[in-house]
Amino acid sequence: MKICIYPGSFDPITYGHIDIIDRASKIADKLIVAVLNNHDKKSLFTVDERVEMIKESIKEYGNVEVESFDGLLVDYAKSKNAKIVIRGLRAVTDFEYELQMAQTNRELENDIDTVFLLTNLKYSYLSSSIVKQVASFDGDVSKFVTPQVADRLKKKYNKYFV
Ligand code: ADP
């Protein structure tokens, strides 16, 4: 069974991420979307909220699971018996960092390969940070995230305004 891991911060999940999940789910027998519990990166949503939002977005996929993880990605992948890490590429700007990460992971664990998938062009400009910026100014994010995520963003930022 080909188990693939799609790791990331997903703060929050966008249609760009969902597009990658959709593509990866066709390659993997089982796809695990793994939310990094990143202690030093300040995130808007808690790890549990991020996991919940992903779960709400991927209900239709029978072979996709969501979990959170701590520590080294290669250790987590090994514990899940996964040999393939999926990452999305939006533009050349992503490439340098992604290459560095992939090479480091290869050094740490030679058996694990990173597979890069290209998003649909219409999502190639999308990032969680841009979505957060728009939402923080009460802008319309309906083209970028699911209605459930848009709702949660609204609540999060309204909380700061009252
Ligand atoms: P990280 O903090 O690990 O970069 P992100 O949640 O920002 O986590 O992204 C997770 C993965 O999804 C990364 O491989 C990133 O390049 C990819 N990704 C993010 N947004 C998009 C998008 N719009 N299209 C394709 N891939 C994307």
What confidence tier does 159 reach under pLDDT thresholds 50, 70, 90? low
How many CB atoms neighbour CB 7 within 10 A? Answer: 18
The catalytic residue among 9, 17, 50, 57 is 17
**Residue 161, pLDDT above cutoff 60:** no
Q: Tokens standing for 130?
A: 């841009």
Please determine, for residue 162, whether its predicted confidence score (pLDDT) is greater than 70.
no
Per annotation, catalytic residue among 50, 87, 90, 132: 90
Distance (Å, whole) CA 129 – CA 133: 6
Encode pLDDT of 101-121 as tens digits. 999 999 999 999 999 999 899
Query: What is the predicted pLDDT for the residue at 38?
Result: 78
Please give the average per-residue pLDDT across 134-158, as a whole number.
95
Q: Which long-range contacts (CB under 8 A, 24 or more apart) does 43-46 make?
A: 43/9, 43/11, 44/11, 44/12, 44/132, 44/156, 45/11, 45/12, 45/152, 45/156
CA distance 156 to 35: 19
Cα 131 to the center of its chain, rounded Å: 14
Q: Which SS3 state, helix, strand or coil, does residue 72 take?
A: coil
Question: Would you say residue 135 has pLDDT above 80?
Answer: yes
1-10, 99-108, 150-159 — which is least confidently predicted? 150-159
Peptide bond into 12 cis (omega under 30): yes
pLDDT given for residue 110 in this prediction? 96
Residue 17 annotated to the active site: yes
Distance 111 CA to ligand 1 centre (A): 23
- Kindly report the pTM of this predicted structure: 0.93
Classify domain 3-123 at the CATH topology level.
Answer: Rossmann fold (3.40.50)
Gap between the Cα atoms of 36 and 49, Å rounded: 12
Q: Where do the domains of the chain lie?
A: 3-123
Residue-averaged pLDDT of the chain: 94
Atom of ligand 1 lying closest to residue 13 CA? 6
Q: What is the pLDDT of residues 23-49, one digit of tens each?
A: 999 999 999 999 999 776 789 999 999
Portion of the chain with pLDDT greater than 90, in percent: 90
